[in-house]
Structure 1
Amino acid sequence: MDTEGPEVTGERLPLRRSLLVRLLVASITIAVCSVAATAWLAARTTTSAIQQEQGQVLADDAQIYDTLIGYAAGHTDWSGVTPTLKRLTGRTGRHITLTTQDRRPIAASGTATTLPTRASALIDPLRADPALLPGVKADGIDPRAVGPYRLPGAERKELRFQVLKLQSCMRGAGFPAGVTEEPSGRPSLVLSGDNSTQRKAGEVCGLYVLDDPTTTEKRALDRLNTLVAGCLKRQNMGPAVVDLSFTPVGKGGEAVQRCVDTARREQLAPYVAQPALLFVATPAGTPAAAGFDLSSANTVRVAGIAALVLVLTVAVTVMVGIRLVRPLRALTDAARRPAQHHLRVPVTTNDEIGHLAAAFNDLAERRERVEVQRRAMVSDVAHELRTPLSTIRSWLEAAQDGLAASDEAFVASLLEEALLLQHIVDDLQHLAQADAGRFRLHPEPVRLRELLDQVTAAHRGRVETADVTLITRTEGDPTLTADPVRLRQTIGNLLSNAIRHTPPGGAVTLRCRRAGDQVLIEVADTGTGIAADDLPRVFDRFWRADKSRSRQTGGSGLGLAIVRQLTEAHGGTVSVTSTPNTETVFTLRLPLSSD
């Protein structure tokens, strides 16, 4: 034991270190991946922050653009725009400058600065950018540029009275409606529901009265239609009439619509401010742009967190590795102990290592059981061989000393003991062949009725000597593919065993019948039977029901073991049931051959 301790310890360390190294490598890899994922997440977060900042810049630019377009649509010049620019600067933090298209200053929100090389946008309510102003139609004319269509107070009051009256009618008819006011001052009803609902509501309350233009709108529409007619005439096209929706009535096409848009711009031009270039910059004078700067303190903080994650990962991995290695070391120690110790290891977890420890304990238990069986088998073999050899030796020594006459009875006795010894050796050889998988079968079609008759005839003499009744019953004429010699040996062993354990006057029954895709061969006797505790050991080698191991009540103890081996070699099974002092039945189940 002193020489094995250091050796075991010396061989155990590399395994332990190897496992720890692999765990460390795995954990470091995971940590690196985690750090990389954290960096990726930080980059994505930064990108998201930049995108949000850019979105805010775009929103501010859109607000500036919308406010200035609205101002230009409601004023004929830029003379009073400076307060508006200052309010926008205070709200967005941008420096705003307006110039003419040839870059002459118009107004600014603060002290003059160097203008960027490129303007942010062109402020023209008659050619607005639909991308920055979602309410603008494809013609690019801001809806707030109403010009001559702006209603005076009297007309607004009259229209509002009509709208409120219609709204009351709509509510009474079960069609709720809201009231809005267009940039020109014209009030209108807002109906919910689909087109059919709106059409029905219009028929009930007569909403069509709102479609009639006022006096102011008629004058503006007459001027617009004159301009449209002139445009169409220049293109050799017929006249078209435009209503308050600024679409041609009864005549369409891109050319007509272009004339309508051109005429509207010409009509509205005197009522809006001249086009101006918009410059938006930061207070320092550079163009407004989103930015994100990771300070050195934040950089150090991120690096520190990453290092902390790495250290914690390594520490946790070392702890987990030690906990994993400890039961493995116990398993290694138990496995390296001498085979006769059959050590067990404690099962403390329900994970893979716990399952491994349980499997090791099960293996040790089966190994111990096999060792016990091996020792018992060696003892049984020695006992079985010693008896005939001792008899032969004693007779020979007596003959050598002149105490026994070498006559016919002497030779017959020695021959009987030699045959018994040969029988034991043959049985051991059969079992050895079966264990080694070298049990050779020569299968052929076998009629069981004929085979059972042959077995019965071979045991007729023993049955008569034992004063036992032998009954054979076969249902039908089943046929299977089997080795007839081995099958006769199997049934013969069972029949011999039954005759041996049946007292005089008893009966042994040999039955055969078909059961589905199997054939059942049963050997029943009315002998002493087998105790329930002994049934699991019936087919063990050298086991006998008679613990005295008497030759008169038991054979070599290998017959039933050979029966099981031969049956399994044919792809079948053998079982036994017993009622002590009443009946014992051995059943062979063999697969049927094709008829």
Structure 2
Amino acid sequence: MTRSFPLRRSLVVRLTAVSLLIALGSIAATAWLAVQTTTRAIQQEQGQALSGDATIYTEVLGFAAANHTWDQVGPKLKALSDQTGRRIVLTTLDRRVLGDSGGAPVTLPVKATASVDPLHVDPVLLPQAGTSGIDPRAVGPYRLPAAEHSDLDGLARKVASCLTDLGFPSQVRDAASGRPQLTGLDPLAARYFAAKCGVYDLAEATPTEAAALAKLNDAVNSCLEAQKQPPVQLGLDFEALGETDQRRSQGCVDSARRAQLTPYVAPPALLFTLGPGGSQLPTFTLSKENLTRILAVTGGVLVLAAAITVLVARRLSRPLRALTEAAQQDRPAPVKSRDEVGYLAAAFNDLTARRERIEEQRKAMVSDIAHELRNPLNVIRGRLEAAEDGHLPFDRALTTSLLEETVLLQHIVEDLQDLAAADAGRLRLHPEPVDAAELAGHVAAAHADRAAAAGVTLTVSAHGDTGLTADPVRLRQVVSNLVTNAVRHTPPGGLVTIHVSSTVDEVVIAVADTGAGIAAEDLPHVFERFWRAEKSRSRQTGGSGLGLAIVRHLVRAHGGTVTAKSEVDTGSTFTVRLPKTDLRGEGAGVRDAQDPHVKGQNQPRDQKGITRD
């Protein structure tokens, strides 16, 4: 029990600490961002009140972009005031009034609603300005005179008519500079019919645009030269032609454009929007009380998060404690939850049950091995003691009897070695082309005398192409064990038949007998080690009890299957199905005869076990 406390303490402490750190970091970051965002919204000239006055700001900014002074701004402010119901006041940066929508003089707020400067526009307030911050309506020297506009407008309409005839309609719209542009044009038309319809001619700069663009290029390249950067050539879209890295020259382009447009736009001004009658619009303030309130709420949320984290950590650690105690006491874990811990407990309980079954099987196997070895050893010892005491003569009959028991011992030990090699994945196979029908005939010939002595008829029946790739020694061992068992359990006058047939992918070897058969409840156990239907373990009716277990391992090593069908007083049939494919490189423990890592590769193949159980 004491060994589970460190695990519980470590889990709870670590889970709580990590959760609290995450909660503290997220809450602190949220609170800091909220305070910073609110403070910035209050302090910035483009404050929160601007969201309701976007129309006013955009219209006033457009006036500044199109006029180089504020002299005629009064009517614009009056119209916007009538439209929005706000009083609008425009001043210079030193708060000298430039225009007022009307009414008695009022005291202006400390902070302006917004700063109006067409050359330094906040992209959030006017997304069309892009990253340059220059109002696209500020065109300055790029504004087309009437003659150039007329020529381009005629060309644009011809291009649009040409594209319409080709099935790509578009519209002609004037940009802020007066340059006609095609809108709604399909990109495919611009690509495939540009030359045919004169789209490229429409994109050519006019003399006015070319002169302004030349001055801009000179200014930009002078800036780049001062920075020891290569010169660039700008197009009408103010982007460097052919340059892949626009960021390299963007700073010089923006500064040169501002310098070029400054004489053509109104100077920066402050915009004030007031309520009806000149009253100030409500604003947000972040006082000490508000700051204290935010901190208090943050602290409360943190305490609540800490409490919930501790409860969750304790709840999560409880089943782990039970699982740890069960592991220490070597018993199943009483965890029934349907989560990851429950799955872990179920896996632990399955592992515990398997370990108990394996331990029971180990004990049973040790007992079986001891029993199997005890019988021949007792016979050998008894006969040697009888001979030593003079009760039996030291003649050929005695040595023959002792040799039979010694061979039986060797038989059992070799079977155990084969099973141990199969369990460890070290069962070596030497695959080569084999004719299963021919191999079955050799096995039948080897067992002919034993079958005749038992009064059993042993035959072979073969059909089809029975060639496959297999280890001939191990395959003969499989068939020999099945035939030995069949002959042993078939009464005199019975019949044992080795059927060999084939399918497209398999060779089938079936050993059928007309013996006593196996009961249905015993049939699932026939391939278990040391299992016999005769519980008396009599060797008159059973061998070592390892033959069929070895058969199963050898068949699996070949990538095949073995099954058993039987009826009491009718007979049994053991069927082996083996693939015809090459075994080399397939399956655990299967090695080619030329594998340099297999010891004894040049030694003769082991012929043991050909007539074993």
TM-score class, shorter-chain normalisation, is: 0.5 to 0.7
User: What is the 5 A alignment of 1:340-351?
Assistant: 342-351=330-339
107 and 586 in structure 1: CA distance in 2 versus 1, 3 angstrom threshold: closer
Aligned counterpart for 1:303 among listed residues 295, 298, 308: 295
Cα deviation digits, residues 251-282 of structure 1 (max 9, x gap): xxxx9xxxxxxxxxxxxxxxxxxxxx998587
Aligned counterpart for 1:573 among listed residues 555, 561, 569: 561
477 and 292 in structure 1: CA distance in 2 versus 1, 3 angstrom threshold: same
In 1: Cα distance, 2:24 partner to 2:36 partner: 16
CA shift for structure 1 position 487: 0.9
2:521 counterpart SS class: helix
1:27 counterpart SS class: helix
Provide the residue aligned with 1:20 in structure 2. 12
Matched, 1:524 2:542: no
In 2: Cα distance, 1:26 partner to 1:280 partner: 50
Provide the residue aligned with 1:69 in structure 2. 75
Aligned counterpart for 2:52 among listed residues 45, 49, 56: 56
472 and 96 in structure 1: CA distance in 2 versus 1, 3 angstrom threshold: closer
CA shift for structure 1 position 59: 5.5
Provide the residue aligned with 1:336 in structure 2. 328
Contact 1:60/1:92 (<8 A) preserved: no
Contact 1:572/1:590 (<8 A) preserved: yes
Provide the residue aligned with 1:109 in structure 2. 103
Cα deviation digits, residues 204-244 of structure 1 (max 9, x gap): xxxxxxxxxxxxxxxxxxxxxxxxxxxxxxxxxxxxxxxxx
Provide the residue aligned with 1:409 in structure 2. 397
Contact 2:91/2:98 (<8 A) preserved: no
Matched, 1:373 2:361: yes
User: What is the 5 A alignment of 1:494-573?
Assistant: 494-573=482-561
What residue identity is the alignment partner of 1:409? Answer: A
Contact 1:470/1:508 (<8 A) preserved: yes
Gaps of 5+ in 2: 64-71, 117-124, 127-136, 138-207, 209-268, 584-613
CA shift for structure 1 position 347: 3.0
Contact 1:54/1:290 (<8 A) preserved: no
In 1: Cα distance, 2:273 partner to 2:77 partner: 20
In 1: Cα distance, 2:299 partner to 2:518 partner: 75
* Count of residues in Structure 1 that have an aligned counterpart in Structure 2: 418
In 1: Cα distance, 2:485 partner to 2:109 partner: 118
CA shift for structure 1 position 318: 1.6
CA shift for structure 1 position 105: 11
What residue identity is the alignment partner of 2:322? Answer: A
What residue identity is the alignment partner of 2:483? Answer: L
CA shift for structure 1 position 506: 1.7
What residue identity is the alignment partner of 2:50? Answer: Q
In 1: Cα distance, 2:563 partner to 2:457 partner: 23
In 2: Cα distance, 1:302 partner to 1:391 partner: 95
CA shift for structure 1 position 441: 1.7
CA shift for structure 1 position 37: 4.0
Provide the residue aligned with 1:190 in structure 2. none
Contact 2:113/2:273 (<8 A) preserved: no
Please report the RMSD computed on the Cα atoms of aligned residues, expressed in angstroms.
4.4
User: What is the 5 A alignment of 1:184-583?
Assistant: 292-337=284-329, 342-583=330-571
432 and 393 in structure 1: CA distance in 2 versus 1, 3 angstrom threshold: same
In 2: Cα distance, 1:121 partner to 1:487 partner: 95
Provide the residue aligned with 1:220 in structure 2. none
In 2: Cα distance, 1:119 partner to 1:407 partner: 127
Contact 1:116/1:287 (<8 A) preserved: no
CA shift for structure 1 position 449: 1.9
What residue identity is the alignment partner of 2:51? Answer: G
- Give the TM-score normalised by structure 2: 0.60
In 2: Cα distance, 1:107 partner to 1:443 partner: 103
541 and 53 in structure 1: CA distance in 2 versus 1, 3 angstrom threshold: same
94 and 532 in structure 1: CA distance in 2 versus 1, 3 angstrom threshold: same
1:532 counterpart SS class: coil
112 and 443 in structure 1: CA distance in 2 versus 1, 3 angstrom threshold: closer
In 2: Cα distance, 1:443 partner to 1:278 partner: 94
In 2: Cα distance, 1:279 partner to 1:492 partner: 106
CA shift for structure 1 position 306: 1.8
In 1: Cα distance, 2:489 partner to 2:37 partner: 88
Cα deviation digits, residues 170-212 of structure 1 (max 9, x gap): xxxxxxxxxxxxxxxxxxxxxxxxxxxxxxxxxxxxxxxxxxx
In 1: Cα distance, 2:344 partner to 2:100 partner: 87
516 and 304 in structure 1: CA distance in 2 versus 1, 3 angstrom threshold: farther
Post-superposition, which runs of at least 4 consecutive aligned residues in structure 1 deviate over 4 A?
41-52, 57-68, 70-73, 91-98, 102-108, 111-122, 277-283, 286-291
What residue identity is the alignment partner of 1:109? Answer: G
Contact 2:564/2:572 (<8 A) preserved: yes
Contact 1:57/1:289 (<8 A) preserved: no
CA shift for structure 1 position 355: 0.4
What residue identity is the alignment partner of 2:10? Answer: S
User: What is the 5 A alignment of 1:83-102?
Assistant: 92=86
What residue identity is the alignment partner of 1:496? Answer: T
CA shift for structure 1 position 464: 0.8
Cα deviation digits, residues 36-85 of structure 1 (max 9, x gap): 24654676677789754113355677999999638989xxxxxxxxxx99
47 and 537 in structure 1: CA distance in 2 versus 1, 3 angstrom threshold: farther
CA shift for structure 1 position 551: 0.5
Report sequence identity in percent.
Answer: 50
Contact 1:380/1:542 (<8 A) preserved: yes
